[in-house]
Chains A and B, each alone.
Chain A
Amino acid sequence: KQEVTQIPAALSVPEGENLVLNCSFTDSAIYNLQWFRQDPGKGLTSLLLIQSSQREQTSGRLNASLDKSSGRSTLYIAASQPGDSATYLCAVGGSARQLTFGSGTQLTVLP
């Protein structure tokens, strides 16, 4: 059974810092990996999708990497802004395309 862990659970940084969020998963037989953002009381916004054959994806200030063999993914956020404050969720796609989620990293970017 797939298990997804995200470290740290919470992170507080000053504005402008670069930061890395970590995600690890126990079963490397994944189809894809998706990073989401969730604002309080809101739904999930897809940030980046990495297919199992890919190593990384980039969108603006965000870069996600995937190392399937070691069961790890990282989300790099460059030049963080207060508007980046949210919970970031890592989700791994299984054989039936269902997502198994980590418990999230709550990010606070201080002005």
Chain B
Amino acid sequence: DTAVSQTPKYLVTQMGNDKSIKCEQNLGHDTMYWYKQDSKKFLKIMFSYNNKELIINETVPNRFSPKSPDKAHLNLHINSLELGDSAVYFCASSQRSSGRAKAYEQYFGPGTRLTVT
């Protein structure tokens, strides 16, 4: 049973297109995140949602728009894709009240490799 799943796993598209990446978690967590891993393998937070409310929006272009229809889903929509958007995008989730020792332990999805040509 996959805890955090993402679709698609691979996405190849042309510059200027609009695409979406979906994320679902079945852990009952209340907080979800999007991270970007660039070509140098560096991971950086993009967005964080708690109970469907946006908590963190790091300096991400407004072409990126997260949408959380419910606590179990956090989708990422990207408009007007650019070459520099090519990266691996990871979704993650955590729960505040998992017991003190495990509070806010983040669980990651398998990633979506986006290639913009």
Q: How many Å from the CB of A29 to the closest CB on chain B? A: 15
User: Which positions 4-44 of chain B face chain A at CB distance < 8 Å?
Assistant: 31, 33, 35, 40-44
A103 contacts the other chain (CB 8 A): yes
Chain B residue contacts of A51, Cβ below 8 A? 100-101, 103
B63 interface contact, C-beta 8 A: no
A25 part of interface (Cβ distance < 8 Å): no
A96, B96: Cα distance in complex, Å: 11
A79-102 with Cβ < 8 A to chain B: 87, 89, 91, 93, 96-101
- For chain A, the bracket of interface size reads 20 to 34
**CB closest residue in chain A, given B47:** A98
> Is B106 on the interface with A (CB-CB < 8 A)?
yes
Cα distance, A89 to B106, chains bound together (Å)? 13
Kindly list chain A residues whose C-beta atoms are within 8 Å of the C-beta of B56. 96, 98
Contact: A101 with B42, CB < 8 Å?
A: yes
Q: Is B105 an interface residue (CB 8 A)?
A: yes
Proximity string of chain A (11-40) to chain B, C-beta cutoff 8 Å, 1 when within and 0 when not: 000000000000000000001101010000
B77-117 near A? 1/0 per residue, CB < 8 Å: 00000000000001010101000111111111111000000
- Whether B44 lies near A44 (C-beta < 8 A) is no
Q: For the complex, give the distance between the alpha carbons of A32 and B106 in Å.
A: 11
Residues of B within 8 A of A34 (CB): 105-106
Distance, CA A103 to CA B48, complexed state (A): 21
Structural contact, B33 and A98, CB atoms closer than 8 A:
yes
